[in-house]
Amino acid sequence: MVPLKPVNYLAPMIAFATALVFLSRFLEFPSLSSPLPTEASSSSPGSPLLSRAQDAFTDIKAAYARWDAEVGCNRFRDRHRHWASNVSAVQEACAGAECAAMAPAHVSVLVKGWTWIPDNLDSIYSCRCGLTCLWTKSPVLADKPDAMLYENIMPPARRRKGDPLRVYIDLEASRKPSGFEDIFIGYHADDDLQSTYAGALFHNNRNYHLSSYKHNDTLVYWSSSRCLSYRNKLAASLLSLIPHHSFGKCLNNVGGLDMALSFYPECINSNSEPHWWDHLHCAMSHYKFVLAIENTVTESYVTEKLYYALDAGTVPIYFGAPNVWDFVPPNSIVDGSKFKSLEELASYVKAVAGDPVAYAEFHAWRRCGVLGNYGRARAISLDTLPCRLCELVSRRRGREARTL
């Protein structure tokens, strides 16, 4: 049971097929000229990159202060004012909230079966247009639900008018509808409801301590315990070029599992037995970079592997969705697939790690409030799913919805 880590147990089915696709794509090394999709890598005035001597640093707040003095939010905002990501890749959180279209004014959703959906989503919500929304796993609280949410188990094959609407959720890369649902929830904008991984509920119970010092010698954190062969190969090739710590089962180089807590005792969550997902953010915050490789390379499939790193105040080196920039803030990640070779990627990472101003620029989005589509992606995460689903159920008239 991995309560809050939804991606890891269904994916093996699809991993093999996509591994082949991924490898062939990866070996081509798409040759884009610039590692960054912005002006930041050019020699425009004020660009912190490519013009500086290396300057070892460990104190992240001191790096921010230097960036404030040498670049600053105004220049950063200006640089990214034409930042264009594809808004169609992320649904509008408020879409379709015409109050007149909503009836009934109260909706209850019963979450069915064993599911990873966090228990503490259970609540009664006040949504838009005065709609109230009961979301619960308890058939005692929701004895006459307007909708039943299924995950991992099939909805009933038939629905008659007066029965609850059947909702099916699959956030895995394959996003496979059951065929029997009235509403399908996936991670893609084309689904009835999109639910991104950019939510706080993916890390319930985490330790919120983050380090203000980052290693200046060991640059990359990696942890993976599902050693898919393509992912291992890619990680092994890249990590052989950069000093790193690998904490998981795959390519472990820290002397065993569960070493993060002996390295970083401040990451212990005192009130619970240690689980790796509790201290993950705290542990990765000691590193300038986190390697994040998706199980599969799939459009719009951007998972918590990436968001954990952003939430922990570090910089993901990302291999995954080709349209990842539609889901993250400007200048927030290193998109590994945009480099001609892993050698080039490794020297870029080392150059940034040795330049406090260039490195601090990867955190400017958060400090200056420049979010791009990331603001939209956060607004439609699992955190807000209850109201968004209840609103849709209400627009479909709940149990009174006609059968399809």
Ligand X SMILES: *[C@@H]1O[C@H](CO)[C@@H](O)[C@H](O)[C@H]1NC(C)=O
Note the residues at the interface with ligand X (CB under 6 A).
Answer: 56-58, 86, 88-89, 189, 216-217, 300
Q: How far is the CB of 111 from ligand X (least distance, A)?
A: 27
Closer Cβ to ligand X, 204 or 216, answer by number: 216
**Using omega within 30 degrees of 0 as the cis cutoff, is the peptide bond preceding 386 cis?**
no
Closest CA to 237 of 355, 351, 317: 317
- Contact criterion met (CB below 8 Å) for 370 and 74: no
Residue 277 DSSP one-character state: H
Q: How far is the CB of 70 from ligand X (least distance, A)?
A: 18
Closer Cβ to ligand X, 55 or 258, answer by number: 55
Q: How far is the CB of 300 from ligand X (least distance, A)?
A: 5
Closer Cβ to ligand X, 122 or 299, answer by number: 299
Which amino acid does the sequence have at 69? A
Q: How far is the CB of 188 from ligand X (least distance, A)?
A: 6
CA torsion sign for 338, 357, 375, 174 is positive
Closer Cβ to ligand X, 93 or 127, answer by number: 93
Closest CA to 238 of 29, 17, 24: 29
How far is 218 from 27, CA to CA, in rounded Å? Answer: 27
Q: Within a 13 Å sphere around the CA of 41, how many CA atoms are in the beta-carbon half?
A: 12
Q: How far is the CB of 324 from ligand X (least distance, A)?
A: 12
Closer Cβ to ligand X, 278 or 326, answer by number: 326
Q: How far is the CB of 57 from ligand X (least distance, A)?
A: 5
CA 307 to chain CA centroid, nearest Å = 4
Closer Cβ to ligand X, 41 or 216, answer by number: 216
DSSP 146-179: SEEEESSSPPPS---TTSPEEEEE--STT----S
Q: How far is the CB of 42 from ligand X (least distance, A)?
A: 24
Q: How far is the CB of 359 from ligand X (least distance, A)?
A: 13
Closest CA to 276 of 189, 174, 329, 203: 203
Residue 2 makes CB contacts below 8 A (sequence gap 6+) with 8, 9, 116, 277
How far is 105 from 89, CA to CA, in rounded Å? Answer: 30
Q: In the structure encoding, which two tokens stand for residue 21, read together?
A: 């696709």
Closer Cβ to ligand X, 135 or 197, answer by number: 197
Closer Cβ to ligand X, 76 or 221, answer by number: 221
